[in-house]
């Protein structure tokens, strides 16, 4: 082992000396007054490690060393592309620091970016498989989506379509691999945003880029360090910065992942070792121990790059001295002003339904002075409907302004998802979701859920977007479900009932903007109620058919589905319920026989208002206010209050009570809590509840005369975790006193509401 280390040190020293001699030999050919060497910069791939390239560029700028040619692969293509467009270190550092790149790369869509109707489905199914030709397939990449494409389009739009990247302020080339042919592809013309996006498409991590007949992925598979290519462009001296994979030792290979990683990049590593020999100055920042995809520590990577460059100060000092009297021409960045005029919008396949939707949303920027933010916002409006998979856009010169050119791919989805949940009314359950999006007709979606538990359920939801802006929807739904609910007398559990319900509806919806919608719905419902255990003198069976006409207003500006930090949810609903038919049977009568009243027409009104305020990085205040009333007494049409806060828009959690423990004909409700983030995705909340309600439970007993008004106070502490299946919430609470502590658990999301 000692011999190996000694040999390595000797070879490294000899290699360094040879590079220094080669550099000195080239520098000796120039007098530093009239003739100067042409300097190239070759930047390797390496995911987030590639941010170290910025540190090297910072050092080069401090020494006033001009760069004439730039080559790059993967992350080196992004940094190199920006530098080739004429951006300085300070400008590139501002680009990196001003965005949440982790969210961009992960395509993390905030809830407020989703259209109002789609919010009910968003980010609730952790495991999904695509279905194609009767096969279940994994996603094409870990990170799928449009945010990365839009971010890169923003950065590189000034260089949309170029006949040659030699026309950039600094000539540039980057590299990708065609998966279909296996060939290396040199990208030296065309849409610069598309080129750098293809060069960084790490297989399995980011989706490939289709260009002409090619399917392009990360060039690092074959050529991760384009040094010789830089020389071929015309460089006399190449400064190479390498942050990619290196050949491993036996003791470093510890798992299947290590073997797969080495196998995938073996050709590239062999090429890199050859390429490194041609670099006159080779810089290798020490970043190998940092996470590959952690863009939040960008400053650490920049510092490491700067430190590595400065450690070779002798070579750089020679270059700097040579260029001391060099009158460098100013490099003017190729970029648009902050606001520019959009002369026209051109969309691929302009006659399709999807193109018309895009065109209508982009009308807001057409013939207007806009910023890149305005364009992204207009495009995101179309994305919010979840009907588009990706969008690429760029700008080209028109007669009096810029032409916005847009290409897109459709989100044509056939998928199966699986999740799990647990609530008192349904017990533990596996939930399966099937989705067919844009399969039957453009801008349509069919989603079905199946709940497997001792209280099973099945539901379906179909909608079709309509209208010029596609913000009108036709909706059809059905659900068949079983739930259990308690019946209390004098705060004592008297009976538990099984509710078997069939529900179907049709409705029309108008999305008013990106957060608000109104819905008019007509529904038919059949409810069958039977006791869990049939006793003497008992209600044996209730079968009720109803029709309902409802109008709902809904608004949601929160930032995420579970444990939101900011935003407001408003839910107002008015329904007219008509009893078509009811049949009741008894097993005798007694003092505690529940007697069902004659069902009449019923008016139902409810209003729910939820507020979330972020007080600090770790503390969020939440408040819920609600009121509701039914005009007629009913065993079925009641407001069910209680359970954990699993962020159901219609749920009203209450400390010390489980779902359905509190059942009211009319109520006023309030909740207030302070949630503290204890660590990543783990929370503790101090909660207080107050409830004033009118219950008809006693009215249903033989001899009872009038409803009872009561007031309830609840308080306690809630523990919450953001898990793969959704929020896991455990409440430790009590009602009215500290004598009886109740523990209630809610796991996951309520995919099929039972009330």
What CATH architecture is 414-747? Beta Barrel (2.40)
Q: Report the pLDDT value the prediction gives residue 229, as an integer from 0 to 100.
A: 96
pLDDT digits (tens, 9 = 90+) for 457-472: 999 999 999 998 899 9
Q: Above 90 in pLDDT, residue 262? A: no
Q: At what angle do helices 52-62 and 75-84 cross, to 10 degrees?
A: 30
Q: Above 80 in pLDDT, residue 335? A: no
Q: Report the pLDDT value the prediction gives residue 447, as an integer from 0 to 100.
A: 94
Structure-model confidence comparison of residues 751 and 627, the more confident one: 627
Least confident of 28-32, 75-79, 652-656, 700-704: 700-704
> CB under 8 Å to 351, separation ≥6 — which residues?
none
Mean pLDDT score, 699-721? 78
β-partners of residue 522 are 506, 549
Q: Above 60 in pLDDT, residue 755? A: no
Please say whether the beta carbons of 177 and 218 come within 8 A.
yes
Q: Where are the domains of the chain?
A: 1-106+166-176+183-198+222-323, 340-410, 414-747
Q: Above 80 in pLDDT, residue 753? A: no
Please say whether the beta carbons of 456 and 484 come within 8 A.
no
Nearest to 192 by CA among 225, 226, 164, 231: 164
DSSP codes, 687-742: EEEEEEEEE-TGGGBTT--S-EEEEEEEEEEEEEEEETTEEEEEEEEEESSSSS-E
Provide, rounded to the nearest whole percent, the portion of the chain with pLDDT above 90.
48
Q: Report the pLDDT value the prediction gives residue 391, as an integer from 0 to 100.
A: 81
Neighbours of 242 (CB within 10 A): 27
Mean pLDDT score, 395-407? 87
Neighbours of 727 (CB within 10 A): 22
Q: Is the dihedral of CA 464, 465, 467, 471 positive or negative?
A: positive
Q: Report the pLDDT value the prediction gives residue 52, as an integer from 0 to 100.
A: 96
For the record, the structure tokens of 671 come out as 């909740």
pLDDT digits (tens, 9 = 90+) for 413-463: 899 999 999 887 788 899 999 999 999 999 999 999 999 998 899 999 999
Q: Above 60 in pLDDT, residue 14? A: no
Top-confidence range, 55-69, 134-148, 575-589: 55-69
Structure-model confidence comparison of residues 449 and 150, the more confident one: 449
For the record, the structure tokens of 350 come out as 């302009």
pLDDT band at 8 (very low <50, low <70, confident <90, very high): very low
pLDDT digits (tens, 9 = 90+) for 624-653: 999 999 988 887 888 989 989 887 778 899
pLDDT band at 139 (very low <50, low <70, confident <90, very high): confident
pLDDT digits (tens, 9 = 90+) for 656-704: 988 878 888 899 999 999 999 999 899 999 999 999 998 765 555 554 5
Q: Report the pLDDT value the prediction gives residue 216, as an integer from 0 to 100.
A: 94
Structure-model confidence comparison of residues 507 and 292, the more confident one: 507
Please say whether the beta carbons of 394 and 152 come within 8 A.
no
Q: Report the pLDDT value the prediction gives residue 103, as an integer from 0 to 100.
A: 73
Least confident of 2-11, 12-21, 545-554: 2-11
Q: Report the pLDDT value the prediction gives residue 10, as an integer from 0 to 100.
A: 40
3 state DSSP class of 300: helix
DSSP codes, 370-387: E-HHHHHHHHHHHHTTT-
Q: Above 90 in pLDDT, residue 334? A: no
Mean pLDDT score, 521-548? 86
pLDDT digits (tens, 9 = 90+) for 191-218: 899 999 999 998 888 889 988 899 999 9
Q: Report the pLDDT value the prediction gives residue 494, as an integer from 0 to 100.
A: 62
Q: Report the pLDDT value the prediction gives residue 150, as an integer from 0 to 100.
A: 83
Nearest to 113 by CA among 382, 374, 358: 382
Q: Above 70 in pLDDT, residue 3? A: no
Structure-model confidence comparison of residues 99 and 525, the more confident one: 525
Mean pLDDT score, 188-192? 91
pLDDT digits (tens, 9 = 90+) for 403-419: 888 888 888 889 999 99
Q: Above 90 in pLDDT, residue 551? A: yes
For the record, the structure tokens of 33 come out as 């007054």
CATH of 340-410, one of 3.10.20.310, 3.30.70.60, 3.50.30.10, 1.10.8.60: 3.10.20.310
For the record, the structure tokens of 510 come out as 């108008």
pLDDT digits (tens, 9 = 90+) for 608-626: 999 999 999 999 999 999 9
Q: Report the pLDDT value the prediction gives residue 706, as an integer from 0 to 100.
A: 60
Q: Mean pLDDT, the chain, as a whole number?
A: 86
């Amino acid at each position: 082992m000692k011999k190996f280390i000694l040999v390595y040190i000797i070879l490294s020293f000899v290699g360094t000396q040879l590079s220094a001699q080669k550099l000195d030999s080239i520098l000796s050919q120039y007098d530093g007054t009239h003739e100067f060497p042409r300097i190239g910069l070759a930047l390797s791939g390496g995911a987030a490690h590639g941010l170290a390239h910025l540190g090297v560029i910072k050092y080069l700028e401090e020494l006033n060393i001009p760069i004439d040619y730039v080559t790059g692969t993967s992350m080196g293509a992004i940094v190199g592309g920006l530098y080739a467009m004429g951006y300085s270190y300070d400008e590139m550092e501002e680009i990196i620091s001003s965005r949440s790149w982790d969210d961009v790369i992960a395509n993390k869509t905030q809830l407020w970016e989703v259209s109002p109707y789609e919010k009910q489905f968003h980010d609730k199914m952790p495991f999904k498989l695509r279905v194609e030709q009767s096969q279940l397939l994994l996603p094409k990449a870990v990170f799928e989506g449009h945010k990365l494409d839009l971010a890169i389009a923003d950065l590189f739009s000034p260089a949309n379509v170029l006949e040659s990247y030699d026309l950039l302020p600094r000539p540039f080339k980057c590299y990708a691999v065609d998966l279909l042919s296996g060939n290396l592809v040199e990208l030296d013309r065309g849409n610069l945003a598309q080129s750098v996006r293809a060069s960084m498409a790490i297989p399995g991590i980011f989706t490939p880029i289709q260009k002409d007949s090619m399917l392009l992925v990360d060039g690092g598979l074959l050529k991760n360090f384009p040094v010789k290519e830089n020389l071929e462009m015309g460089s006399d001296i190449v400064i190479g910065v390498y942050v990619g994979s290196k050949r491993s030792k036996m003791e470093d290979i510890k798992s299947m992942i290590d073997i797969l990683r080495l196998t995938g990049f073996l050709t590239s590593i062999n090429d890199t070792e050859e390429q490194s020999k041609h670099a006159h100055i080779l810089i290798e920042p020490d970043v190998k121990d940092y996470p590959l995809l952690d863009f939040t520590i960008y400053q650490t990577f920049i510092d490491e790059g700067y430190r590595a460059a400065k450690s070779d100060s002798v070579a750089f000092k020679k270059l700097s001295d040579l260029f001391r009297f060099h009158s460098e021409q100013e490099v003017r960045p190729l970029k648009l002003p902050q606001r520019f005029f959009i002369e026209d919008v051109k969309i691929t396949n302009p006659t399709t339904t999807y193109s018309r939707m895009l065109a209508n949303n982009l009308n807001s920027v057409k013939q207007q002075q806009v910023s890149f933010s305005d364009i992204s916002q207009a495009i995101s409006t179309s994305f919010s409907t979840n009907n588009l998979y990706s969008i690429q856009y760029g700008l080209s010169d028109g007669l009096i302004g810029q032409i916005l050119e847009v290409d897109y791919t459709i989100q044509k989805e056939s998928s199966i998802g699986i999740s799990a949940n647990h609530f008192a009314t349904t017990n533990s359950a596996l939930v399966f979701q099937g989705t067919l999006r844009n399969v039957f007709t453009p801008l349509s979606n069919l989603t079905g859920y199946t709940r497997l538990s001792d209280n099973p359920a099945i539901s379906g939801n179909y909608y079709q977007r309509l209208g010029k802006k596609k913000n009108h929807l036709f909706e059809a739904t059905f659900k068949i479900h079983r739930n259990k609910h308690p019946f209390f007398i004098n705060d004592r559990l008297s009976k538990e009932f099984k509710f078997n319900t069939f529900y179907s509806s049709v409705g029309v919806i108008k999305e008013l903007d990106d957060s608000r919608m109104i819905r008019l719905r007509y529904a038919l419902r059949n409810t069958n109620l039977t006791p869990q255990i049939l006793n003497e003198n008992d209600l044996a069976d209730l079968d009720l058919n109803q029709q309902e006409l409802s109008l709902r207003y809904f608004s949601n500006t929160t930032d995420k589905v579970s444990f939101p930090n900011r935003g407001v949810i408003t839910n107002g609903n008015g329904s007219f319920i008509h009893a078509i038919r009811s049949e009741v049977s008894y097993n005798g009568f007694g003092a505690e026989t529940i007697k069902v009243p004659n069902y009449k027409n019923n008016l139902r009104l409810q209003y729910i208002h939820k507020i979330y305020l972020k007080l600090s990085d770790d503390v969020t205040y939440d408040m819920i206010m609600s009121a509701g009333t039914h005009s007629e007494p009913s065993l079925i049409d009641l407001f069910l209050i209680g359970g954990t806060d699993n962020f159901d828009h219609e749920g009203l959690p209450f400390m010390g009570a489980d779902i359905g423990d509190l059942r009211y004909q009319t109520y006023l409700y309030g909740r207030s809590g302070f949630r503290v983030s204890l660590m990543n995705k783990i929370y503790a909340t101090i909660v207080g509840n107050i409830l004033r309600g009118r219950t008809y439970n006693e009215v249903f007993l033989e001899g009872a005369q009038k409803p009872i008004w009561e007031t309830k106070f609840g308080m306690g502490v809630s523990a919450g975790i953001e898990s793969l299946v959704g929020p896991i919430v455990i409440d430790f609470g009590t009602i009215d006193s500290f004598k009886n502590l109740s523990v209630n658990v809610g796991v996951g999301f309520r995919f099929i509401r039972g009330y």
